[in-house]
Structure 1
Amino acid sequence: MPPAASPPLVSLHDLSRAALGQRLAEWGYSAFHRDALWEALYRRHVKSLDELEGLVRPELVTRLREHTCLRSPTVHHETFSSDGHTHKLLLRQHDGQTIETVLMRFKGRATVCVSTQAGCAMGCVFCATGQMGLARHLSPGEIVAQVLHVVGLLRQTGETLRNIVLMGMGEPLHNYDATLEAVDILVDPRGLAIGPRFITLSTVGVVPGIRRLADEDRPVQLAVSLHGATDAERAALVPVGKRWPLNELMDACRYYSEKRGRRIFFEWTLIAGQNDTVDQAHTLGQLLKGMEAHVNVIPLNPTVGFGGTPSTPEAVRAFQQVLTSYGLPSTVRQRRGIDIDAGCGQLKAAVERPRRSLPG
């Protein structure tokens, strides 16, 4: 009989501090050794097991080499906006799959937009990632590693990371367990110690996931992508609306808001002549009236696979004025990286788009 295959190596970045401690305890090591290793991973930002030499006991390093690994992504492609504020990265994973991560610099703060899946199964028609379909879920460590990569870039310039938005490639609530395990690692006070109120999870409206978030009291801000205030209008842009119609989605949002006592951010991508009229703003106002809500108005970031165009500034202002009449605060999201296709999935689509054969 052929020899039994060795169990796969465990990525250290996939483990929470509690899970890491449990594994080390099985090897006879104490919480002291767990915390020393955790500090090396998330305070010293070691990138290989070799870098652990001198930071933890030599025999522990040997055991880690036998059973674990550290998988840092490599930069497959990167672009920089002309104003220097946006840095978009296409990161290659250990299996060759690529994902996008975006670093955005604002005055006095930095934000990273991270992916939770390679591709996406939700199929939003205006989204470059939705147009490419789902390749696979990311592990907790692959989500965390994106943040670590950006933290390393910021350390070179003396900057610090404040905000994390889980709204890159993928639907976070379609990869619920891995996404929230990554959040647990990111907020751990002995590690990166990102404040929970500075982490925003954006969903297209996966109703069971929203209810689960409410029941588990997960430490994130919730953003829900609407884009249409009737079932027909929304389903035309966000196909998942056919599975979870607006009455189910809004019931879940109210359940979340009331149980957690938190405001929900509703995202509305404004597409000229499609969902930016005053009448549609009134319909949205009626839909959200009485809720603890804030509307993020987002002028469309055009993609190759969708023919829509952004709303005019006048249409945006008129839309907001209607929302104000319903007591709904709104913010026009600052557009960043338009010159480098910083929208979700656009860099991957551009870099990996199959080239057409030349005639002849």
Structure 2
Amino acid sequence: MTAPMDPRTSTMPQPRQFEGRALPLIDAPPAGTRDPRPGLSGVPLEALRDWFAQRGEPAYRARQVADQLWSDRSVDLDGPRTLPAGLRAALGDAFRFDTMAETSVRPADEGLTEKALHVLDDGRTIESVLMRYPARGPRRERATICISSQAGCAVGCPFCATGELGFWRDLSSAEIVDQVRFWSRRLAADARRVTNVVFMGMGEPLLNPDEVVRAAAAISDPQRFGLGARHITISTSGVVPGIETITALAPQYTLAVSLHAVRAGLRDVLVPLNRRWPAEQVVEAATRYADVTGRRVTYEYVMIAGINDTPSDAADMAALLRGRLAHVNLIPMNPVAHTPWQPSGSERIEAFAGTLREAGLHTTVRRNRGTEIGAACGQLAAERAAQPAPAAVARRREILVERSAAALRDRPLAAPR
């Protein structure tokens, strides 16, 4: 595999530098000391074979460790004694079997949704979510895992709870994969398995492209976790160099683009990195991904009452995506304390969807899950952090009202349908 380029170079602003994003509301807690040992789940099998070979051990030792690592029953290296004690100790000195220091879980939706708050070795917190979908008609039972790629986020979309936190750090590929391993073990207790993985948790995946690509490779590798590539979705708010990176690799992952608005002034407010990569440029890059892979691109659109849900917004969306290999997923906004906005009503959402369908676009409406446990991105981590002063929350809401009002004043009339 060709090593992916890192888009955080001369073409990429560093985290926290996206013009127009609101400042984080919550100060990051002091970080603890990170464990220098890499996580085993991020180590390719070939590298593990090399490690054993350097110690005069046969290649099959790597397979023994991999079998235990990816077993749904193993939580450490003290399980099945396939390795001599001395070799187990050496392996433990060199690698971590699990990168999560602590995990707590909240259930919701009568057990169909569960959210985990993972504490990493340096005290940073990340989130992952399990969503169970019972069998219905010809559709089999599914278990989708939503995972984080960063602790915090640099993009700062104002309707997202992670935006309160600011950016803390990138996750390693092992820290990403270990979220999946956690849920795989939990599902195995009920004789169930992970069927889908989506990179839609905390962070912007394509601002951490190398580790995300490595994690996706581990999840899809038949010799490791073994989930089919078409069951993995990588999302982005529109990091064009990152889209180009994964396009060059030509995987069969699903690409999901968080669009949320088409018109520049409004998208500048809702997705601050639009000032760097406008919607049209993002969609062109995503279309190239579809052309290379033959995979339909999903466009995510959070519906916010009175902000981005008008007939004009729907017409703009239809005009931009018409004729492309695209699927649109409309998502009622999860209410977040630091914003002045509310989710669109069902009638407005259905009218919006109708405009897109008339344009020939496959369109679905997502039902939000786990609202009572804060299942939206960043909500549990924000609860754990020190809470902002009421004055800071009020000022942030004022800023968002001012910016969105200015964007709405410039909204053109909808084109005739």
Shared fold (TM-score greater than 0.5)?
yes
CA distance in 1, matches of 2:348, 2:122: 45
| Structure 1 range deviating more: 40-49 or 281-290 | 40-49
CA distance in 1, matches of 2:389, 2:263: 40
Q: 1:291 aligns with which of 309, 318, 324?
A: 324
Give, as a single letter, the amino acid of the residue that structure 2 aligns with 1:169: M
Compute the displacement of 1:79 (Å). Answer: 1.8
Q: 1:340 to 1:69 in 2, by over 3 A?
A: closer
Given that 1:16 and 1:184 are in contact with CA atoms closer than 8 Å, whether structure 2 keeps it comes out as no
Aligned 1:35-74 pairs, distance under 5 A? 35-43=63-71, 45-51=73-79, 54-74=81-101
Given that 2:102 and 2:120 are in contact with CA atoms closer than 8 Å, whether structure 1 keeps it comes out as no
CA distance in 1, matches of 2:389, 2:360: 51
Q: 1:84 aligns with which of 111, 118, 125?
A: 111
TM-score (structure 2 length as normaliser): 0.80
Q: 2:218 aligns with which of 182, 185, 191?
A: 185
Compute the displacement of 1:77 (Å). Answer: 3.8
CA distance in 2, matches of 1:238, 1:66: 43
Query: Secondary structure of 1:100's match?
Result: strand
Q: 1:126 aligns with which of 159, 176, 179?
A: 159
Per-residue displacement from partner, 1:82-136 (whole Å, max 9, x unpaired)? 4221111111111111111111111111111111110000110100112211101
CA distance in 1, matches of 2:53, 2:292: 37
User: Which residue of structure 2 lines up, in the alignment, with residue 306 of structure 1?
Assistant: 339
Q: 1:92 to 1:8 in 2, by over 3 A?
A: closer
Compute the displacement of 1:68 (Å). Answer: 2.2
Structure 2 residues without counterparts, runs of 5 or longer: 1-34, 135-140, 391-417
User: Which residue of structure 1 lines up, in the alignment, with residue 48 of structure 2?
Assistant: 20
Given that 1:281 and 1:323 are in contact with CA atoms closer than 8 Å, whether structure 2 keeps it comes out as yes
Structure 1 residues without counterparts, runs of 5 or longer: 1-6
Given that 2:326 and 2:361 are in contact with CA atoms closer than 8 Å, whether structure 1 keeps it comes out as yes
Per-residue displacement from partner, 1:196-227 (whole Å, max 9, x unpaired)? 11111110010000011111113411000000
What is the aligned length?
Answer: 350
Compute the displacement of 1:354 (Å). Answer: 3.0
CA distance in 2, matches of 1:270, 1:8: 42
Q: 1:63 to 1:75 in 2, by over 3 A?
A: closer
CA distance in 1, matches of 2:41, 2:98: 8
Aligned 1:182-221 pairs, distance under 5 A? 182-221=215-254
What root-mean-square deviation, in Å, do the aligned CA atoms of Structure 1 and Structure 2 show?
1.8
TM-score (structure 1 length as normaliser): 0.92
* Sequence identity (%): 39
Aligned 1:1-360 pairs, distance under 5 A? 8-43=36-71, 45-51=73-79, 54-107=81-134, 108-354=141-387
Given that 1:43 and 1:191 are in contact with CA atoms closer than 8 Å, whether structure 2 keeps it comes out as no
Query: Secondary structure of 2:193's match?
Result: coil
Given that 2:72 and 2:184 are in contact with CA atoms closer than 8 Å, whether structure 1 keeps it comes out as no
